[in-house]
Chain A
Amino acid sequence: MNAPPRAAVVHAVLDTEPTGSVCCSLVSKTMSILLDQKGVAATLERLSGEVRAALPPDAPAAIVGIRSRGEVLAQRMQAALQRRGCKNLAHGSLDITLYRDDLAEIGPAAQVRRTEIEFDVQDCFIVLVDDVLFTGRSARAAIDALVDLGRPRAIRLAVMVDRGGRELPIQADFVGVRTPDPKRHVTVKLVETDGEDCVEVV
């Protein structure tokens, strides 16, 4: 028997009815794979090309990933840019936990990790990298975290997926793919953090 196509996986969902009685029903929910492994690689390659073209020829530049998946994407983009001949490109990782506007809601689950920016942010052209752009609140936090380190020459934003649903006036400069319905959840999976490369829409 062939394995079912991955685009139509059937999930068992535990449904709670308003009366309080619990019934178990099989609800067919479509989870589509937006990008498979090859798609992720091709998209990242294209994004890297666009970023490459935008880098200033005469100023220090850096790729900065937002922890945790943006950090992995930034590392891959860094490697791709080096293959394209970008020398002296700095690299960093940003933890935005302390800058989030929903710290009170997260409570004890907030985990602060290290921000690792070893280069001088002052006058640097910085490309921020994240996996999904949704409300724009993470990007806002990341911009605030960066400018507390110095005054960059410019900050650009590169994302794998733009999900729509913005709550702040923030847009990405480099977008891998766009999804049409902000209500549908997007998950970017990467080998380094999740064991495989793909983008899922639920």
Chain B
Amino acid sequence: MAAPAAETTWTRKHLLDLESLSADEIGVILDTAEAFKDVSTRSVKKVPALRGRVVVNLFFEESTRTRTSFTLAAQRLSADVIDFSAKGSSVAKGETLGDTARNIEAMGVDLIVCRHPASGAPHLLSRCVNCCVINAGDGRHEHPTQALLDLFTIRQHKGRIEGLKVAIVGDVANSRVARSNLWGLTKLGAEVTFVGPTTLVPRTFEQFGARVCHDIDAVIGEFDVINMLRIQMERVTSNVFPSVQEYTRLFGLNGQRMRRAKPDVLVMHPGPMNRGIEITTEVADGARSAILQQVTNGLAVRMAVLFLCNQAAGG
């Protein structure tokens, strides 16, 4: 028999961040995602739960995998999906975010999946419209579904989250993935260590409950999970960043470092990877890498989020 479903019910029609969720609410999403995992392997890869609903991908920032994942998730729930990208739209003509959203909502949209370069944009959106708003990444703030799929993948491999030691390595200061992971992991009882150069991993993060470390070799043997963040090449030219070669030498995850990690350490990466920079091909494609499973699990997690928010909004 399946694990007993959590007692908590999901009552939020928006998913804006993980910071405001309880551990139980995160548990409901992960448990629900478990039920959606098999849909992708069946004869008919669709369930009728969102039939007649319209999901719009409102993306103000480039994205391939997150948008594709949300599109596929919505389609597997039998929803209709529209893509809206900011380029060449009325946004370029000076329309405000609220007006754009209200116009889209006026066409009869039920769920808006929003990515925006400004932190807090989905929160603002949720106050402008009556439909559900799902945050698909806002500025340096949060990327809740990425953290949820990371949690789901960790739970799948380790059987639990509580008590695990998780390292998040890279440009933490600019990473919404790091922030969402910090909230999700600490709420579920894991211990998070941010690792990277001082310019990218400031001590400020200690006040949010993370441990901060600037020397990966000193601590690599402690971790059950190592999550390598992508080095955003557009930031490399700025003065906060050492040279790429220096970063790779000091923090890159390679076979040599892996030999000093726990034998059952789980390696993750939110993608897209810079092979040879933050992670070598040997490690990325190695036996301890869960990178492609993260992508697969992302689908189940996003199906769960779309389903739960739609149910909370009254089905």
Give chain A's interface residues, CB within 8 Å of chain B: 71, 93, 95, 97-99, 103-116, 121-122, 144, 147-150
Contact = CB atoms under 8 A, between A and B. Distances in A.
B2 A107 contact: no
B42 A148 contact: yes
B43 A108 contact: no
B5 A111 contact: yes
A69 B42 CA distance: 24
Interface stretch (B45-53, B64-72, B152-160, B261-269): B45-53
B47 A121 contact: no
Sorted from nearest, which 6 A-B pairs have the closest CB atoms?
A104-B315, A148-B44, A98-B47, A98-B49, A112-B35, A114-B2
B38 interface: yes
Nearest to B78: A98
A114 B48 contact: no
Given A115-B38, A121-B43, A103 B9 contact: no
A147 B48 CA distance: 13
Contacts of B314: 104, 107
A149 B48 contact: no
A156 B53 CA distance: 32
A144 B44 CA distance: 11
Nearest to A104: B315
A106 B44 contact: no
A115 B35 contact: yes
B42 A149 contact: yes
18 contacts: A71-B1, A98-B48, A99-B49, A103-B49, A106-B315, A107-B314, A107-B315, A108-B311, A110-B315, A111-B5, A112-B304, A112-B307, A113-B5, A121-B43, A148-B44, A149-B42, A149-B43, A149-B44
Contacts of B304: 112
B9 A108 contact: yes
B36 A112 contact: yes
Contacts of B43: 121-122, 148-150
Contacts of A147: 44
Contacts of B35: 95, 112-115
Interface string B298-315: 000000100110011011
B315 A148 contact: no
A108 B11 contact: yes
A17 to B, nearest CB: 31
Given A105-B315, A113-B35, A148 B9 contact: no
A123 B179 CA distance: 50
B42 to A, nearest CB: 5
A95 B37 CA distance: 13
Contacts of A113: 2, 5, 35
A112 B32 contact: yes
B12 to A, nearest CB: 9
Contacts of A109: 9
B24 interface: no
Interface string B23-47: 0000000001011101000111011
B76 to A, nearest CB: 10
B24 to A, nearest CB: 13
B311 A106 contact: yes
Contacts of A95: 35
